[in-house]
């Protein structure tokens, strides 16, 4: 009896659904599910093996969610193509609060399905949710189809799908007056607001011409302070670096791990597992000591407010280099693709540089972002001034992105760092 009830309920769903109107526009835009689609599970949006470089493959469970950005108010026509792998299916569609059902025929191959016409009143990110009501009937969905009057009015990821899932990295390029030369020390602070300390995030405080220094959330149980220096030998394989181009470890702090890194350049890396907290100001200090034999030592210190002390992270010698600190910057990065739908924000405050003339406060930066943003594969990135401090925000498909190249200024805090260099390790 129960079997017949479900059968008649299924038929009722099919015939009770309103017949779709005719498409307002032809499908001229194809959004690849490979780089724009995620898996929605209860309260999380993530990735799994269903999302491949060929699109959504062998999918039956959970809801797939595809994001795209509309620049100006308009009307659009939505659809999708699907390939039934076994038998007919009922697809539950949800867009902008409106639900519809689509019935797919038996074992069709890349059949186009019209969903509906929609009016877009507000620019920003939108998403289309698709749920397979026939859980035992897997489908392949290669693209989401869009009809729109102006093809330039829509943005989505067209390539580099791995990086698109990671989301756009954002950067603060600090503006230093040219008259400030021979910078030996570089100081800054970071505060990660509560709820923004998301797994897979690197909050980089002290970036310089040959490396970077900041904090990471590596897992639910591990956080790190990370300091790395690139080798002058250009390679992504640390094993290929000739001996006279290798980064040399001079010293390291208690509990600090050191080694080599690759894939994004190569060189020396150090990190300390440290349970840093959100809503807490952390201080970073970087030192450069150039020598006449064409080497420079770069040393990183982290201030732990819980012990009220500057901790040595590591000191590296970089060959073929005789330079003070340059190209001061910070950035916000997500390094786990499955976490690319979670919004993050961090405050980068109280930046200073030190040379023989003393401390100089930084109160200006130029906003920039990585290639994912520059190619407009993702537009969820921003930066600026908030509460007289610099901030970066990215990921999570929020609206109101910041134009790359915008320069921001803030009032000087005049909170000169109080550091006794002689007491540093």
pLDDT value of position 265: 67
* Average pLDDT for 159-169: 97
Cα–Cα dist 92/110, whole Å: 18
Residue 14 has pLDDT above 60, yes or no: no
In a domain, 9, yes or no: no
Task: Say if residue 368 is in the same domain as residue 311.
Answer: yes
How would residue 194 be classed by pLDDT, with cut points 50, 70 and 90?
very high
In a domain, 143, yes or no: yes
Helix (H) or strand (E) holding 163: helix 161-166
Cα–Cα dist 408/282, whole Å: 22
Task: Say if residue 105 is in the same domain as residue 199.
Answer: no
- Is 0.75 surpassed by the pTM of this model? yes
pLDDT value of position 16: 44
pLDDT value of position 364: 98
* Average pLDDT for 174-195: 97
pLDDT value of position 139: 87
Among residues 208, 383, 192, which one has the least CA distance to residue 285?
208
Task: Say if residue 251 is in the same domain as residue 377.
Answer: yes
Residue 20 has pLDDT above 60, yes or no: no
Please, what sign has the CA dihedral across residues 222, 226, 231, 235?
Answer: positive
In a domain, 105, yes or no: yes
In a domain, 4, yes or no: no
Task: Say if residue 127 is in the same domain as residue 73.
Answer: yes
Label residue 340 left, alpha or beta by phi (over 0 means left) and psi (-120 to 50 means alpha): alpha
* Average pLDDT for 288-301: 98
Last residue of a domain, one of 124, 156, 188: 156
Q: Is there a contact between 273 and 173 (Cβ–Cβ < 8 Å)?
A: no
Residue 28 has pLDDT above 60, yes or no: yes
In a domain, 15, yes or no: no
Name the DSSP class of 388: T
Task: Say if residue 261 is in the same domain as residue 377.
Answer: yes
* C-alpha dihedral (121, 369, 396, 99), degrees to nearest 10: 40
Q: Is there a contact between 90 and 13 (Cβ–Cβ < 8 Å)?
A: yes
275-280: which pairs have CB atoms within 8 A and are 24 or more residues apart? 275/223, 276/215, 276/223, 276/225, 278/192, 278/193, 278/194, 278/195, 278/196, 278/197, 279/191, 279/192, 279/193, 279/194, 280/191, 280/192, 280/305
Residue 3 has pLDDT above 70, yes or no: no
Cα–Cα dist 380/399, whole Å: 6
pLDDT value of position 82: 87
Indicate the SS3 state at residue 316: strand
* Average pLDDT for 117-143: 92
Among residues 192, 195, 187, 184, which one has the least CA distance to residue 215?
192
List pLDDT tens digits, range 58-94.
988 889 999 999 999 999 999 999 888 777 788 899 9
* Average pLDDT for 327-337: 97
Mean pLDDT of the chain: 91
pLDDT value of position 108: 66
Write the CA distances from 285 to 35, 137, 185, 208, integer angstroms: 38, 57, 7, 12
How would residue 11 be classed by pLDDT, with cut points 50, 70 and 90?
very low
Cα–Cα dist 172/350, whole Å: 13
Residue 414 has pLDDT above 50, yes or no: yes
Task: Say if residue 294 is in the same domain as residue 264.
Answer: yes
Task: Say if residue 130 is in the same domain as residue 253.
Answer: no
CATH code for position 46: 2.60.120.260
Integer distance in angstroms from the first to the last C-alpha of the chain? 79
| Between residues 166 and 266, the one the model is more confident about | 166
Among residues 59, 67, 129, 139, which one has the least CA distance to residue 100?
129
* Average pLDDT for 219-245: 92
Cα–Cα dist 178/237, whole Å: 35
What residues make up the domain containing 184? 165-423
pLDDT value of position 12: 43
Task: Say if residue 115 is in the same domain as residue 228.
Answer: no
**Could you give the percent of the chain with pLDDT greater than 90?**
78
Beta bridge partners of residue 303, listed in sequence order: 283, 310
pLDDT value of position 88: 76
How would residue 425 be classed by pLDDT, with cut points 50, 70 and 90?
confident
pLDDT value of position 286: 98
Task: Say if residue 193 is in the same domain as residue 211.
Answer: yes
Residue 13 has pLDDT above 80, yes or no: no
In a domain, 332, yes or no: yes
In a domain, 3, yes or no: no
| Between residues 135 and 315, the one the model is more confident about | 315
Last residue of a domain, one of 156, 184, 214: 156
Residue 10 has pLDDT above 50, yes or no: no
pLDDT value of position 410: 96
In a domain, 335, yes or no: yes
* Average pLDDT for 51-64: 91
Task: Say if residue 144 is in the same domain as residue 212.
Answer: no
Residue 7 has pLDDT above 70, yes or no: no
């Amino acid at each position: 009896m129960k079997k017949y009830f479900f059968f008649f309920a299924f038929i009722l769903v099919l015939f009770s659904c309103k017949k779709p109107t005719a498409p307002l526009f032809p499908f001229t835009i194809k959004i690849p599910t490979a780089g724009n689609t995620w898996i929605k599970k209860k309260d999380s949006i993530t990735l799994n093996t269903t999302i491949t470089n060929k699109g959504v493959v062998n999918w039956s469970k959970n809801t797939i969610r595809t994001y795209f950005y509309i620049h100006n108010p308009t009307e659009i026509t939505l659809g999708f193509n699907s390939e039934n792998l076994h038998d007919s299916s009922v697809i539950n569609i949800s867009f902008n609060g409106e639900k519809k059902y689509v019935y797919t025929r038996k074992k069709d191959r890349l059949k186009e399905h019209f969903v509906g016409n929609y009016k877009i009143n507000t620019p920003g990110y939108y998403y289309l949710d698709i749920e397979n009501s026939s859980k035992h009937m897997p489908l392949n969905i290669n693209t989401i189809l869009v009809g729109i009057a102006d093809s330039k009015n829509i943005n989505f990821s067209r390539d580099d799908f791995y990086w698109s899932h990671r989301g756009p990295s954002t950067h603060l390029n600090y503006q230093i007056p040219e008259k400030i030369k021979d910078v030996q020390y570089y100081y800054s602070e970071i505060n990660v607001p509560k709820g923004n300390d998301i797994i897979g995030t690197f909050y980089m405080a002290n970036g310089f011409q040959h490396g970077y220094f900041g904090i990471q959330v590596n897992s639910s149980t591990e956080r790190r302070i990370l300091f790395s220096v690139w080798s002058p030998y250009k390679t992504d394989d640390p094993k290929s670096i000739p001996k006279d181009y290798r980064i040399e470890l001079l010293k390291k702090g208690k509990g600090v791990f050191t080694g080599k890194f690759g894939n994004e350049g190569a060189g020396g890396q150090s990190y300390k597992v440290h349970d840093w907290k959100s809503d807490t100001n952390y201080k970073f200090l970087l030192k450069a000591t150039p020598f006449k034999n064409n080497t420079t030592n770069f040393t990183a210190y982290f201030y732990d407010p819980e012990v009220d002390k500057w901790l040595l992270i590591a000191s590296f010698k970089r060959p073929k280099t005789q330079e003070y600190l340059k190209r001061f910057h910070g950035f916000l990065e997500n390094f786990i693709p499955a976490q690319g739908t979670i919004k993050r924000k961090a405050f980068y405050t109280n930046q200073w540089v030190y040379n023989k003339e003393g401390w100089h406060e930084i109160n200006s930066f130029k906003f920039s972002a990585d290639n994912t943003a520059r190619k407009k594969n993702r537009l969820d990135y921003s930066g600026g001034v908030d509460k007289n401090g610099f901030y970066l925000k990215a990921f999570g498909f929020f609206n109101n992105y910041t134009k790359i190249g915008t320069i921001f200024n803030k009032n000087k805090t005049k909170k000169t760092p109080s550091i006794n260099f002689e007491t540093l390790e």
